Amino acid sequence: MPEDNGELKAKTSNENSHTDFLPGRKDHLPLLFRAVECARNGIVITDPLRTDNPIIYANPAFSQLTGYGSEQIIGRNCRFLQRDDREQVAVKEVREAISKEMPITTILRNYKRNGALFWNELTISPVKDENGRVINFVGVQNDVTARIDSEKRVQEFYSVISHELRTPLSSIHGALTAIEDGTAGKVNAQVMRLVRIAVDNSTRLMRLINDILDWKKLEAGKFKLSLATFDPAQAVESAINELQATAEAKGIVLEPRIMTHHDLFADQDRIIQVLSNLTANAIKYSSPNSRVIITLEAPATDTIRFSVSDRGPGIASEQMDKLFVRFQQLDSSDTRKKGGSGLGLAICKAIVELHGGNIGVSSVVGEGSSFWFEIFG
């Protein structure tokens, strides 16, 4: 099979060129041209060696995207798509990248021929000759307006959750708590029973909303830590105080084991948040009248380790990987049975990792689980 062998050799000798063309064949240029003409992305080529880097080629998809015919495109600088909307951070970034002959991907506001705004995801790459000199730029355009609009709607949704839901709920929760702890005056036992149910449920709802907003912030990289030095035993005490009533209602004893008072440099509120979350989970999964042990120790001089151990059903080893991934309650019926957003452990992991620490779990099915995290000093 001489032909096959020939082809194989040709491909092998051409391995590093990123093409599958046979050397000696001249028909790749029409193929490349047809591919660019048929591409669904806008593609333009500009000539930086001419005044103001004009467009020298635009494919049909670019005309379709912008509404301009080729006679209105060729010879102009691409900035005509910005119209008067020139004060954009992305435009400045593009200007800098081009002057440094660097590639760039960004999103800009552009306008079609009929004046309609569209968000243009633009990638520009320099094209070099065999001496490494930049002789052209190639730009690839994508209309990402639908994506940006939906991101904006998601953003609005979070802002509604934050302002229209969390703010009134906090005041309802505050009022109910004032009745429950007696500051608002005496109520009879029957009313108190109802108030307790309302407090429990508003607490759950607040946790859920806070989890959703925290997750959003973490995802956007906008979650900031306020670092300070404190005694980690205080964090254990705070988490226990927060959950004492919930534990008592199930007959569960929360037992602190403080083995160190070594100072910790971390965000105290966030450490309490992680600890409360792990403790609330331990209470949720513990059988009534058992013990949840919260241990604080210093396994090394620069390491503080918190762990929360329960005598619950335990977790099978193949399930452990899923635990810290968002929306991954092990049994999908768990969310409804046990409550929670499905975000709790994912948030704990993100907070611990923001501190540069580690989080994990050890567990034996039928005996219980121990969730731990370590922060380094």
Ligand X SMILES: Cc1cc2nc3c(=O)[nH]c(=O)nc-3n(C[C@H](O)[C@H](O)[C@H](O)COP(=O)(O)O)c2cc1C
CA-based torsion, 37, 39, 42, 48: positive or negative: negative
- Minimum gap (Å) between residue 75 Cβ and ligand X: 13
Q: Which one among 11, 76, 79, 217 touches ligand X, defined by CB under 6 A? A: 79
CA dist., res. 295 & res. 346, Å (int):
21
H/E element, 339: none
CA dist., res. 226 & res. 229, Å (int):
10
Residues of span 102-141 touching ligand X by CB under 6 A: 108, 110, 120, 122, 124, 137-139, 141
Give the N- to C-terminal CA distance of the chain in Å, as an integer: 69
Q: Which is nearer to ligand X, 112 or 250 (CB)?
A: 112
44 binds ligand X (CB under 6 A): yes
Residues of span 47-76 touching ligand X by CB under 6 A: 53
Q: Which is nearer to ligand X, 44 or 236 (CB)?
A: 44
Q: Which is nearer to ligand X, 120 or 363 (CB)?
A: 120
Distances (CA, A) of 257 to 103, 237, 253, 261: 56, 11, 13, 11
- Minimum gap (Å) between residue 142 Cβ and ligand X: 10
78 binds ligand X (CB under 6 A): yes
260 binds ligand X (CB under 6 A): no
Could you give phi then psi for residue 368, rounded to 5 degrees? Answer: 135, 180
Q: Which is nearer to ligand X, 141 or 329 (CB)?
A: 141
How many amino acids of this chain bind ligand X (CB under 6 A)? 21
H/E element, 8: helix 2-13
CA dist., res. 341 & res. 331, Å (int):
14
Distances (CA, A) of 214 to 158, 219, 260: 11, 9, 30
Q: Which one among 59, 82, 202, 329 touches ligand X, defined by CB under 6 A? A: 82
Residue 248 has what DSSP assignment? Answer: H
- Minimum gap (Å) between residue 124 Cβ and ligand X: 5
Q: Which is nearer to ligand X, 109 or 311 (CB)?
A: 109
Which stretches of the chain bind ligand X, using CB under 6 A? Answer: 44, 46, 53, 77-79, 81-82, 91, 94-95, 98, 108, 110, 120, 122, 124, 137-139, 141
